[in-house]
Structure 1
């Protein structure tokens, strides 16, 4: 491996162009500019080039191999070989999502991958930033117009040339004096990189622009082409004392570019809140995700006693609505190792799910399905495709592969659509028109005194004309329904007429409103009478019902459950009902 220098960077450039990754580390100018801090080493082969970078007092890290797609496997195999020969960890950093997806597909469960959130490139629409047109650009447009008005006749823009270099360096000296001392190390490294680019300005594919105000340089930029349709901003500095100057230097530079340039890459935010806000305020059209990886086997397996503490910890940190008490109850009464599947790597829990058996009623017959619960991935590994890998692998195993349906609930339904889950079970959430349900004389009464048999009878009567509902018995109400109602501070009321139980309401009461989590009844008239009792409260009343229920008020359709159909027949589309969370 040889160090990347001014003299040899052209040897690497053709391979970078073949890869066409569009991310800012995949730019010879970036590697050169920061070579005083991140030394880059490379070697070329017939079809690919390999590059690693090294910071002082840090281990080297490989970048993605540079080559056309057909030669990636060949390149990665050589990278593995060179890792062993050079005693460098077989890790690939600054990976794009496209490369990450390819790596997972070609080498399943062979690499541990993590999301480098702070390293995402911010990409902007060139013409939007140039013209400043549209509602999103209003603030920037106002700042630019203010700049033009304030400094008309006093400023001018010009392409950056060697004649401007002394003025740039003088500006950087003044600019550094406005910074904190703890920032000097990074600032000095950047200035050294700028000086290197200036030293070989005419020999390198870099360009830029500058603005003079009252004949003094107050802003400049240094850029290069990252791809045929994308320009990268390596450096952009402006005197903040001049309102709108940062916007002006970018706009003026972009106006000089050919029409083929459509995108603007402004690199990452390094995890700095102020920089993140500034880059976000510029309205990026997308961000280029970055991932790190190491060659480390992943394993998908059932849980055992060794993993219980890790599973509990991930459960408690992943689900905001869980309490210590509800988690403890779940793991005491419902957690079964044989239902729990894990994706792990070297004794680290990466991702988990539980597939609980559940019986539903279809066409009057009992149907065994599996209910996915406790789906979670460690935060450091979110967005890396682990849950999809785990689901795909587990659902090919028995007994799940023989089931007709897999049911799932989620905080974000979109995540699971790519795994074949479809939003199937729906409900309506109503804001009750209380005035419409006020009665001159109330019928029946609500009581917190009831028998388990009454709950079972009411539920069975309510669901007799429905499909896909969970089959509930006394044990369900004793071991699950009532304990969880208590844990989540919900109250169950049974509605009676003539001392006969004929409906129930599971209620969650808040400061401003009352939420009916579940209601069941024996006749529509009973339902109306139950609602009249709810209408007496001074609080707003919300309730969830099946899609067929007719309630006076404002209703909104909501997804209750997703379904992945593995075999025929399909679930019926009419009268579908379920209301389960565990």
Structure 2
């Protein structure tokens, strides 16, 4: 059987664009920037052919394919091919990670699937999807507190702040700010992923110019005090916010960069994916407070041994 796994590189991450458009996929893992940031944490390898591309992850806790990217009608056949490889060639049960609702529903059409596999609902990995225009305007009663925080920032720092679209020439000052931001954070790191995210961000900056993403920053009194990194999927009109960091000692700054990044860098976006909360209580509370229009479910499946 011809599945040969290769180590995922930045150039390979960019191949995701071709496959992620084969059907509407709203998971953050469909985006090359996300895969590149987390490649080290997951020790990601990949396989591709004319029909699908899949990334395979391996950590201390989990090992197996992530959701293959393919057409909806190809899901059952693609799954059976991967299952045969795992069972017959590798001699291992097939465990698969981070599957969306459409993929799970297609698997349920395979005779005997639900008897052979356990489906695990993975709430910590759910992505948060928002109405982009609501985040740009913060209009309506549900956003009243957010609008107040934003107005307080605008008033308190009037004449002192500036939003800028950043590029590779700004990498050194972004990294300098990021290190200062880390010094002032107290993490809840439930999944032990903090250091890998930091490494991924720095590798992203190392290859700045080769990565298809947008970077925005907020300056106060001429100093960078917040930045955000995002990418865009035009076929689903969705902006993906991969990184957002702001000086926690400046009230309302997170509200400001959240809004301005969308206004200036993704004006055409109708949806915004702000990724998952990894089970961090404070982060979950913050993401819910922005009133997501839905949570994008993710599932793991485990083959009975």
Please give the TM-score of this superposition, normalised by the length of structure 1.
Answer: 0.49
Distance 2:40 2:66 in 1: 18
Q: Is 1:37 aligned with 2:41?
A: yes
Q: Is 1:153 aligned with 2:149?
A: no
Distance 1:96 1:216 in 2: 41
Alignment check: 8 A CA contact 1:64 1:95 kept: yes
Match of 2:180 in 1: 174
| Cα shift at 1:182 | 7.7
Q: Is 1:276 aligned with 2:265?
A: no
Alignment check: 8 A CA contact 2:189 2:280 kept: no
Match of 2:85 in 1: 82
Q: Which has the higher helix share?
A: 2
Q: Is 1:190 aligned with 2:197?
A: yes
**Residues 282 and 35 (structure 1 numbering): CA distance in 2 closer, same or farther, change over 3 Å?**
same
Q: 5 Å matches for 1:33-432?
A: 33-55=37-59, 57-84=60-87, 85-108=89-112, 109=114, 110-180=116-186, 186-226=193-233, 228=235, 229-257=237-265, 259-296=267-304
Q: 5 Å matches for 1:526-565?
A: none
Distance 2:201 2:288 in 1: 25
Say which structure, 1 or 2, has more relative contact order (CA 8 Å, 6+ apart): 2
Distance 1:270 1:80 in 2: 28
Distance 2:147 2:16 in 1: 40
Residue aligned with 1:106, SS: coil
**Residues 81 and 289 (structure 1 numbering): CA distance in 2 closer, same or farther, change over 3 Å?**
same
| Cα shift at 1:174 | 1.2
**Residues 59 and 241 (structure 1 numbering): CA distance in 2 closer, same or farther, change over 3 Å?**
closer
| Cα shift at 1:89 | 3.3
Distance 2:181 2:167 in 1: 20
Distance 1:34 1:190 in 2: 6
Match of 1:561 in 2: none
Q: Is 1:3 aligned with 2:10?
A: no
| Cα shift at 1:264 | 0.7
| Cα shift at 1:21 | 1.6
Report Cα offsets for 1:34-70 as digits up to 9, x if no partner: 1111121111112112221112x34422111111122
Q: 5 Å matches for 1:429-508?
A: none
- For structure 1, the residue ranges without an aligned partner over 5 or more in a row are 297-345, 347-582
- For structure 2, the residue ranges without an aligned partner over 5 or more in a row are none
Distance 2:144 2:45 in 1: 45
**Residues 290 and 156 (structure 1 numbering): CA distance in 2 closer, same or farther, change over 3 Å?**
same
Alignment check: 8 A CA contact 1:12 1:44 kept: no
Residue correspondences, number: 296
Match of 2:19 in 1: 15
**Residues 161 and 40 (structure 1 numbering): CA distance in 2 closer, same or farther, change over 3 Å?**
same
Alignment check: 8 A CA contact 1:61 1:88 kept: no
Alignment check: 8 A CA contact 1:219 1:249 kept: yes
Match of 2:28 in 1: 24
| Cα shift at 1:74 | 2.2
Distance 1:128 1:174 in 2: 31
Alignment check: 8 A CA contact 1:43 1:51 kept: yes
Alignment check: 8 A CA contact 2:16 2:31 kept: no
Q: Which runs of 4+ in 1 moved over 6 A?
A: none
Instruction: Return the index of the structure with the highest Cα Rg.
Output: 1
Residue aligned with 2:119, SS: strand
Residue aligned with 1:123, SS: strand
Please give the TM-score of this superposition, normalised by the length of structure 2.
Answer: 0.90
